Amino acid sequence: MANKQISQMGLPKSIANVFAARNVFTAKDALSLTEFELMELLDVGLAQVTSAVAHISEIVCPPCQTALSLMELRVQNEHLAGHLPTHMKGLDEALCGGIPFGVLTELVGPAGIGKTQFCLKLSLLASLPASYGGLDGHVIYIDVESKFSSRRLIEIGVKSFPEIFHRKGMAQEMAGRIHVLRPASLSEFTEREFEHGAPRQNTLGWHVSFIKSLAEFSRIPVVVTNQVRSQSRDEICHYYFQVQSWNETIEDRTRHDSHLVAALGINWAHAVTIRLVLEAKSDQRFIKVAKSPISPPLAFPFNITSSGILLLSDDGIELTGPDINAIHCQGHNDIINFGGESLQC
């Protein structure tokens, strides 16, 4: 609308001709100047300028929308604002449908807790036919730790959806929709993204901005993983809302075997919309909704089975206080046994 021609806006012919004579052809040209600058440029009075600017603004201004109209529009375009169901009932209900389109969803947890198993199952679900609750789409799986296992992916598919994967050629078809990239480093991944000569900035901030833009403009679900590290004393003291004193933190470290935080820091945390923490407490694994604009902080106990992650209860445990942000790794063993066979997550 900014490039709409003034001659097409229905202004009085006398003032429209003055705009044209002074090379002010579009709404942008007119509205980029103050009323006093227009008075001087057009050599007309304030009343004429004020009337012309109000008329131009009214025409090019986007219509006012209410929150109700925006919600109705979203419902009409659910395919642009949908979710990828995880097929974990309690978690899907907490997230109002699953992993949302258009934003970043993050998995945080110690090594071996089940992040790869979660990602494998999501990749499978995204590539499934829509009639089976999938997106019938293609997946880009960026595997920087070389943990992707096609054998494990097929095993999850066979155990979860035997009616699909027992069909001849179906396993190959589904696997063919998942494209695995294995860059050796972040800089190598950047090279892939900018092989056509676009400028590069090797900063974490730029990369998260790029991924967020990709999710938003392509309207796709994007899931990223994040490791954990030990929290320093300075950081603990800085985040005063999580602990009351250094002495209390020492007690926490005794009570839970370590005080862990997401490795990529607070700036990265602000960039993600959904944060799911995978942790272990008292020899039990939990998926925790630690950050969400639509869900309260909830924790769901889970096991890892031959068909992937399985919730032990669909009723989440509501969390309060420091437990919302804490990441526990108590009694955690990264080796899982399925009928005598061991699997490392």
Helix axis angle, 115-127 relative to 150-160, nearest 10°?
60
Amino acid identity of residue 312, one-letter, is L
| pTM for the full predicted model | 0.66
Residue 270 pLDDT:
83
The average pLDDT across 324-335 equals: 72
The average pLDDT across 42-64 equals: 87
User: Is 198's pLDDT higher than 50?
Assistant: no
Percent of the chain predicted with pLDDT > 70: 79
| Residue 111 Cα to chain centre, angstroms | 21
Residue 170 pLDDT:
79
Q: Which residues contact 97 (CB under 8 A, 6 or more apart)?
A: 82, 83, 85
Q: What is the rounded average pLDDT for all residues in the chain?
A: 80
User: Is 200's pLDDT higher than 50?
Assistant: no
Residues 212-229: tens digit of each pLDDT: 888 888 889 999 998 887
Residue 239 pLDDT:
38
Residues 101-158: tens digit of each pLDDT: 989 999 999 988 999 999 999 999 999 888 887 888 999 999 988 899 989 998 999 9
Residue 242 pLDDT:
40
The residue assigned the tokens 């598919």 is 157
Amino acid identity of residue 81, one-letter, is A
In order of 27, 109, 299, 306, 331, the CA distances from 97 in angstroms are: 43, 23, 17, 24, 32
* 90 contacts 313 by C-beta, under 8 angstroms: yes
Cα–Cα–Cα angle for 104, 106, 108, nearest 5°?
Answer: 165
Residue 178 pLDDT:
93
